[in-house]
Structure 1
Amino acid sequence: MTTQAIEEFEYEALPDNASLSASLLAGAFAGIAEHAVMYPVDSIKTRMQILQPTPQAVYSGVLNAFSKISTTEGAKTLWRGVNSVILGAGPAHALYFGTYEYAKHAFGGNESGHHPIAAAAAGACATIASDALMNPFDVIKQRMQVHGSVYTSVMDCFLKVNKAEGYRAFYISYPTTLTMTIPFQSIQFATYEYLRKVLNPSGAYDPMTHITAGGIAGAVAAAATTPLDVAKTLLQTRGEATDVRIRNCNGLVDAFKLIYQRQGLAGFGKGLQPRVLSHMPSTAICWGVYEYGKWFLSRDNADQQPINLP
């Protein structure tokens, strides 16, 4: 097969005879890469969103937080809980991208032209499925990120939280997570698909297009959903608080009320800077790795079958 034939092969949707495992595998690698690379910034974001921080964990910005944590607790503290993300991100993102590809095709998103509604709907379906799997891992991650965390490992955190608060603790934030991630992913996917087609109308594999579109899409979605992320952090770390009102906070409405009472409207923007700083490169990495995986797997598949070009 000629190089031209391979380049003209439509990689954006995997071939009809490609197994679902191709999309799942590409998604798993993308998810692990996305979360692991920017994990320290995510740790800072969690610390800055805590409603009742200890005096030692009050930060004026990302650089101040990085410097303070590194000098007083050690740089490796910024990586506490990363194992939880790695364990959960692989299967969760495999499910995420597998669902996305299936739903996007079903909704007509692979047809020529712009289909932001189809992309947004597919993103919503993907996040409902993946968050159901990822939520407990995310709770463990944030419990290990807070200042003064006493957990020695992912399993130690799981066992202690489950014993003290019950299995419900791992899903108390799930409705809030969905309330945040469905608009996040809908905004991200719609923005990404739009920018991808504007920047690269031919649809050929182009790493810079996927990285640029992914980074912008991640930044826009992260900024728009920060208030919901603040509420999610409160719910997922409530068991570590000594404040009775925080410990008894039970859902998104309660979280919003408490945040507003304690910090006003400014409280809903806590962690905005590190959230955007982490999501912009991590989403760019995620889409770059995922699109490369699709291209590579589709390219191999294309080599094994004849393609009739006009």
Structure 2
Amino acid sequence: MVRLVKQRMQMYNSPFRSCLDCARSVYRQDGLRAFYRAYGTQLTMNVPFQSIHFVIYEWAQRVTNPQRQYWPTAHMLSGALAGAGAAAVTTPLDVCKTLLNTQEARVVADAGAGRPISGLPAAARVVYRLGGVGGFFRGLQARVVYQIPSTAICWTVYESMKYALSRAGVAERAAAAESAASAVYPTVPFNRAHAQASDFSPRSL
């Protein structure tokens, strides 16, 4: 829903004055289902995007940080590569999703649909009819450039928080061990003195 409003606000010569105006216009024209027209495509895109994203990140970590130590530079680089790769591979699905969300009048008219385009297969047919195979990769560079800093920051923050929490956990366990030790060992000198005072062997006499 939010993505639909965002993308329609970003269209060239967008007639909407605000997000609320856009949402009202979409609801008045196509009803509530218009906000979820690209929902299935969004899910279809997210599954391979996240799968590719994690695979590339793990591979990049093995290359740049084989010891798996906390190294922000390696985390940032690995995150950037993961985001760029996943974004590039899933661009065709993103193009279809954008078409479903924007429903540009000229595109709908050129496609001869006569009504709003609905569903991933229909969107894919329209993209191919109007732009061929290359149409599925329009905006590839912009999508990759957008994802690189996003995933780089995301992974760096995640690894930093994991490192900070692990250090806090180690410090907490060390403090607990020290506390437990202090509860036992203060009695050791007194026990030793008691033992020596009770020793009546020839050495103690």
What TM-score results when the alignment is normalised by the length of structure 1? 0.51
Does residue 195 of the first structure (1) align with residue 60 of the second (2)?
yes
Correspondence for 1:228 among 86, 93, 98: 93
CA separation in 2, counterparts of 1:263 and 1:284?
32
Q: Of 266, 274, 277, which residue of structure 1 is paired with 2:134?
A: 266
Distance in 2 (alpha carbons) for counterparts of 1:179 and 1:246: 26
Distance, in Å, in 1 between the alignment partners of 2:138 and 2:153 is 25
Which of 140, 161, 179 aligns to 2:26? It is 161
Local SS of the residue matching 1:287: helix
Report deviation, 1:279: 1.4
- How far is 1:192 from its partner? 0.6
Q: Give the Cα–Cα distance (whole angstroms) in 1 for the partners of residues 114 and 57 of structure 2.
A: 37
RMSD of Structure 2 on Structure 1 (CA): 2.1
CA 1:295 to 1:269, structure 2 compared with 1: closer, same or farther past 3 Å? Answer: same
The equivalent residue for 1:292 is: 160
Query: Offset of 1:246 from its aligned partner?
Result: 7.4
Q: How many Å separate the matches in 1 of 2:164 and 2:2?
A: 30
Q: CA deviation at 1:201?
A: 2.6
Of the candidates 149, 159, 177, which is equivalent to residue 281 of structure 1? 149
CA distance in 2, matches of 1:270, 1:284: 23
CA distance in 2, matches of 1:142, 1:268: 17
Report the secondary structure of 2:173's partner residue: coil
Deviation string for 1:249-282 (max 9, x for gaps)? 1111111111111111111111111111221222
The more displaced of 156-165 and 278-287 is 156-165
Map residues 85-104 of structure 1 onto 2, 5 A cutoff.
Answer: none
**1:148 aligns to what SS in structure 2?**
coil
Q: Which has the larger radius of gyration?
A: 2
Q: Is the 8 A contact 1:234 1:246 kept in 2?
A: no
**Separation (CA, whole Å) in 1 of partners of 2:151 and 2:99:** 24
Within 5 A, what are the aligned runs for 1:164-243?
A: 164-238=29-103, 240-242=104-106, 243=108
CA distance in 2, matches of 1:293, 1:153: 37
Q: What amino acid maps onto 2:171 in structure 1? A: D
Change (3 A) 1:246 1:142: farther
* Residues 139 and 212 of structure 1, relative CA distance in 2, 3 Å threshold: same
Say which of 151, 174, 191 aligns to 1:306: 174
Q: Aligned partners of 1:160 and 1:294: how far apart in 2? A: 44
**Once the 2 structures are TM-superposed, how far is the Cα of residue 301 of structure 1 from its aligned partner?**
4.0
Q: Deviations over 1:111-155 (max 9, x none)?
A: xxxxxxxxxxxxxxxxxxxxxxxxx12111111110122333333
**Percentage identity across paired residues of the two chains:** 47
2:182 aligned residue: none
Unaligned runs of 5+ in 1: 1-135
Alignment of 1:250-265 (within 5 A): 250-265=118-133
Q: Distance in 2 between matches of 1:158 and 1:302?
A: 50
CA 1:305–1:156 in 2, change beyond 3 Å: closer, same or farther?
farther
Paired with 1:299 and 1:173, the residues of 2 have a C-alpha distance of: 43
Alpha carbons of structure 1 residues 305 and 153: separation in structure 2 relative to 1, 3 Å: farther
Q: TM-score, normalised by structure 2?
A: 0.75
The structure-2 alpha-carbon separation of the partners of 1:248 and 1:160, relative to structure 1 and needing over 3 Å to count, comes to closer
Asked whether the 8 Å contact 1:241–1:247 carries over to 2, the reply is: no
Q: Which has the higher helix share?
A: 2
Give runs of aligned pairs for residues 19-168 of structure 1, distance below 5 A. Answer: 136-168=1-33
Count residues with an aligned counterpart: 172
Shift of 1:215: 0.8
